[in-house]
Amino acid sequence: MIYENPILRGFNPDPSICRVGKDYYLVTSSFEYFPGIPVYHSTDLVNWLQIGNCIERPEQLPYGQAAAGQGVWAPTIRHHEGRFYVTATFCGLGNVIVRSEDPTDGWSDPVRVEMDGIDPSLLFEGGKAYYCTNQRDEDDREAISMAEIDVDTGSLLSPVRVIWHGMSSLRPQYLEAPHLYHKDGWYYLLAAEGGTKENHMITAARSRSLFGPYEDCESPLLTNRHIRDGEVACTGHGDLVEDERGQWWAVYLATRPDKGWYSHLGRETFLTPVRWLDDWPAMGDGRGHLRCEGPLWAPQAVGSDWQADLSCRQPQWLNVREPVRERYLFWGDRLHLIPSREKLSDPLGRPTFLCLRQADLSCETEVEFRFEPQADGSEAGLAIYLSDSGHYVFCLRREAGRKFIEVRRQGGQFTPVRLKAEEGKVRMKIEASGKAYRLSFAFEGQAFREAATVPSLSLADAGRAFTGTLIGIFAQCDTAKERDAEFLSFRMTEKNPETGPGVFHKTVLAGNSEQASACRIG
Ligand code: 6LW
């Protein structure tokens, strides 16, 4: 059956997957965004629904210190004896594990693991659990290291031992993302090498015994490093899963580049079937592709239509760092945002900003709201956000006692646009298509008119280039007290150019009421 990559569109890097019976669970990195570590569920590997987040209480992790591109990196999800375990790195704090018996019903507080390195992973084996990261060896060479662990306390039960130094022809080059598997008498170690940009790869090694010695696979299992100006770049950082029929698959990250290797949507989650040849895994032709064929059992839906339920907070909503709860009032079917003096542009700020991952290269976001600013400098509306230093605001703003529609850019060259505003409710629309956004607005009883068309955000806006574009609603001011902005609707529709408008299906963002954990976050 033919399917399209990415299987999770928009900012979803560092995927990790596990299976429980006929159910598949996938997690991705969330960086400075809260709640952290989205958990997606599928029964067919190509249609995914977000069912929650592992980190949904601010006390779980110190978000206050999470600068752009930091925070939560590279989670791994595993299931063992009725429990899910997710382990990840929180920059500046170290490695942690959370657990849950039901991912729709919340996760434990994290336990710390006293092991260095990033991209932690778990293997359950013979009644024991093993933990590995890319902790360096004693000579400070890049390595994959492992120890036995008590998964419930995070205590290490054995000394940490180096098990691999990466593909010998490449070392040392960002050896990361280790994942271990036991199959047919072999231990397989998958890793990423080359760094997460244009030289990224999935590499592998195998051994008859868990702690090694590991022999290198002759060549990378997957990489697009030799393809310039292709449709797909940065392929690497993968995780394997065996489906319920015995077919193996890998999920991995890749970009659909704008130019070179970078995409303003960030790194997304791709899928490839895996064969076994001479006791080595093989991933198609060793390259990442948009259009793939694999032994699936359900057709893939494309596009999505997400209309916010403003009576409660849904798990897809994100804040930059932990939210100041009192600034978000879900009242009836309206959402009131209390403007914050913390701004979208504050490096460690907690602005009043509620956003979603941009659903796809082509998508439309529309809101309706009312805002009666009392002070100059107060504003509310939509933001296209990549980082505190790179974003657009499209807002209703008060300046010199008058109200305007304003478009401006944080970072980069852009001449701000200011247009006269009317009284009453306003609708704002962002139409994303490829590398541009068309911003338009309509006051009550009027037709939409264009405010500006702006280019997508770029690598220079991205800080560390680890995250992707989000679109959301915000309210900010310069005064101690300002009236709230009242949002009446929010909708993000993914438009698939191949199927045309009106053909909506479920992917990442679909499903409102189905979300079991909808109202618990925050
Ligand atoms: C991730 C690591 C990486 O932990 O980027 O460059 C980090 N490689 O594998 C954040 O996605």
* pLDDT, tens only, 145-182: 999 999 999 999 999 999 999 997 776 689 999 999 99
For residues 326 and 259, membership in a common domain is answered with no
For the chain, give the mean pLDDT: 93
**pLDDT (0 to 100) of residue 169:** 75
Look at residue 298 and tell me if it is in a domain: no
Catalytic choice (32, 176, 342, 379): 176
Look at residue 370 and tell me if it is in a domain: yes
For residues 319 and 375, membership in a common domain is answered with yes
For residues 261 and 338, membership in a common domain is answered with no
Cα 73 to ligand 1 centroid, rounded to whole Å: 6
For residues 114 and 168, membership in a common domain is answered with yes
> Which backbone phi and psi does 60 adopt, to 5 degrees?
-65, -35
Q: What angle do CA 184, 40, 80 make, to 5 degrees?
A: 40
Rounded alpha-carbon distances, angstroms, from residue 108 to 60, 99, 102, 153? 9, 5, 11, 12
Please state the atom number of ligand 1 nearest to the C-alpha of residue 195.
6
Please state the atom number of ligand 1 nearest to the C-alpha of residue 14.
11
Look at residue 266 and tell me if it is in a domain: yes
* Domain end position, chosen among 244, 259, 293: 293
> Would you say 31 and 73 are in contact if contact means Cβ atoms under 8 Å apart?
yes
* Domain end position, chosen among 267, 293, 319: 293
Told to judge if 140 belongs to the known catalytic residues of this protein, a careful annotator would answer no
User: CA dihedral defined by 414, 382, 429, 425, rounded to 10 degrees?
Assistant: -120
**pLDDT (0 to 100) of residue 271:** 98
DSSP 92: T
**pLDDT (0 to 100) of residue 460:** 87
For residues 46 and 97, membership in a common domain is answered with yes
For residues 116 and 232, membership in a common domain is answered with yes
Residue nearest to atom 3 of ligand 1 (CA): 196
- Asked if residue 295 has a cis previous peptide bond (ω within 30° of 0), the answer is no
For residues 37 and 126, membership in a common domain is answered with yes
Look at residue 315 and tell me if it is in a domain: yes
Look at residue 300 and tell me if it is in a domain: no
Q: Name the amino acid, one letter, at 514.
A: E
pLDDT in tens, 51-91: 999 999 999 999 999 999 999 999 999 999 999 999 999 99
Q: What is the number of residues in the chain?
A: 522
Cα 195 to ligand 1 centroid, rounded to whole Å: 8
**pLDDT (0 to 100) of residue 168:** 76
Residues of the chain with pLDDT under 70: 171-172, 496-522
| Chain center to CA of 186 | 32
- 3-state class of 459 per DSSP? helix
Told to judge if 176 belongs to the known catalytic residues of this protein, a careful annotator would answer yes
Q: Name the amino acid, one letter, at 463.
A: G
Residue nearest to atom 6 of ligand 1 (CA): 196
Q: Residue 347: left if φ>0, alpha if ψ -120 to 50, beta else—which one? A: alpha
Token reading at 72 = 């939560």
* Domain end position, chosen among 241, 266, 293: 293
Look at residue 404 and tell me if it is in a domain: yes
For residues 263 and 316, membership in a common domain is answered with no
- Residue 502 belongs to domain with CATH number: 2.60.120.200
Ligand 1 contacts (CB < 6 A) are 13-14, 29, 73-74, 118-119, 174, 176-177, 192, 195-196, 237, 466
DSSP per-residue codes, 155-215: -B-S--EEEE---TTT-SS--EEEEEEEETTEEEEEEEES-SSTT-EEEEEEESSTT-PPE
Look at residue 49 and tell me if it is in a domain: yes
Query: With 0-12 CB in 10 A as exposed, 13-18 as middle and 19+ as buried, what is 513?
Result: exposed
For residues 206 and 289, membership in a common domain is answered with yes
- Structural domain including 320 reads 305-520
Q: What angle do CA 66, 71, 76 make, to 5 degrees?
A: 170
Global pTM reads 0.95
For residues 202 and 79, membership in a common domain is answered with yes
Residue nearest to atom 8 of ligand 1 (CA): 196
Beta bridge partners of 408: 393
Cα 98 to ligand 1 centroid, rounded to whole Å: 20
Rounded alpha-carbon distances, angstroms, from residue 503 to 43, 301, 407, 514? 21, 9, 31, 20
Look at residue 299 and tell me if it is in a domain: no
Give percent of the chain with pLDDT exceeding 70. 94
For 196, half-sphere exposure in the C-beta direction (CA atoms, 13 angstrom radius) is 23
Q: Which residues, 6 or more positions from 416, have their beta carbon under 8 angstroms from its beta carbon?
A: 406, 407, 408, 409
Kindly calculate the radius of gyration of the chain based on its CA atoms and give it in whole angstroms.
23
Rounded Cα–Cα distance for residues 166 and 246 (Å)? 28
> Which backbone phi and psi does 308 adopt, to 5 degrees?
-65, 140
Please state the atom number of ligand 1 nearest to the C-alpha of residue 118.
4
**pLDDT (0 to 100) of residue 502:** 37
DSSP per-residue codes, 299-363: PPP--EEEE--TTS--TT-BEESS--GGGEEEETTEEEEPPBSS-TT-TT---EEEEEE--SSSE
- Domains held by the chain: number: 2
For residues 354 and 231, membership in a common domain is answered with no
- Residue 130 belongs to domain with CATH number: 2.115.10.20
Residue nearest to atom 10 of ligand 1 (CA): 73
pLDDT in tens, 33-56: 999 999 999 999 999 999 999 999
Cα 221 to ligand 1 centroid, rounded to whole Å: 18
Cα 169 to ligand 1 centroid, rounded to whole Å: 21
For residues 151 and 216, membership in a common domain is answered with yes
Can you tell me which residue has the tokens 């064929």? 293
